[in-house]
Amino acid sequence: MPGQCFTDPALRSTYGHYRGVVAARDGELAANEADLAHWYTHGPFVEAVTRLAAYRGIARLGALTIASKVGDWRRFPAARTFMGFTGLVACEYSSGESVHRGHITKAGNAHLRTQLIESAWAYQHRPSLGAVLRRRQDGVDPATAARSWTAQQRLCARFRRLSSRKTSRNIVTVAIARELAGFCWAEMTATQS
């Protein structure tokens, strides 16, 4: 067993069992991803997957998740409406003249919200076009690539600014995820040239 040696047979057995369970789960995940890979290039979400995967932090599986959870983007008349659908907007407690905003509502699709939050973590680093993102942007409409770059510059800068003021990076990531949702909505409602 790589990296670990146990002299006690019970520990060796337990560790072997744990490694076996992890290997089995990894195999199941790889099989699920392989089954879903067909839908990147076939079916009703091909265009959405191609366009969303051009954005940093959104791999093709994440793009497929977002596209399948949203379906028809035209049902959201504005980015703010879509952000509300994701549950990434703050609760509001209002009485008279006072307005207090609290935690996010978490109303809406949890899978969609989770995917956006996981994607938002990619914006903690400086803006760049790595080899993987370049491959995902091959053949993409130049307007989509330009919107992706604009989003990356804004969200990376915003992540840095918020991180310097907030103590919790989770709060910062949720704020970035909310803005990323707005960029996704703008991308999917923009007309292709």
Q: Tell me: the pLDDT tens digits for 151-165?
A: 999 999 999 999 999
- Sign of the dihedral through C-alpha 75, 76, 81, 86: positive
Please check whether residue 3 lies inside any domain of the structure: no
The residue among 113, 130, 128, 133 whose CA lies nearest residue 176 is 113
As a whole number, mean pLDDT of residues 159-183 equals 94
Among 97-106, 137-146, 175-184, the range scoring the smallest mean pLDDT is 97-106
Give me the residue label for tokens 């007309």.
Answer: 191
Which residue segment(s) compose the domain that 150 sits in?
Answer: 45-189
Please check whether residue 71 lies inside any domain of the structure: yes
Please check whether residue 1 lies inside any domain of the structure: no
The verdict on 145 and 65 lying in the same domain is yes
The verdict on 28 and 51 lying in the same domain is no
DSSP 95: E
The verdict on 142 and 89 lying in the same domain is yes
pTM: 0.85
Please check whether residue 152 lies inside any domain of the structure: yes
The verdict on 35 and 104 lying in the same domain is no
As a whole number, mean pLDDT of residues 65-74 equals 95
The verdict on 149 and 96 lying in the same domain is yes
Q: Are 87 and 108 in contact (CB under 8 A)?
A: yes
Distances from the Cα of 149 to the Cα of 3, 63, 143, angstroms: 41, 17, 10
Please check whether residue 2 lies inside any domain of the structure: no
Q: What percent of the chain has pLDDT over 90?
A: 83
The verdict on 125 and 181 lying in the same domain is yes
Q: What is the pLDDT of residue 60?
A: 95
The verdict on 29 and 68 lying in the same domain is no
Q: Are 193 and 51 in contact (CB under 8 A)?
A: no
The verdict on 59 and 150 lying in the same domain is yes
**What is the C-alpha separation between 149 and 153, in angstroms, rounded?**
6
Is the pLDDT reported for residue 1 higher than 60? Answer: no
Please check whether residue 4 lies inside any domain of the structure: no
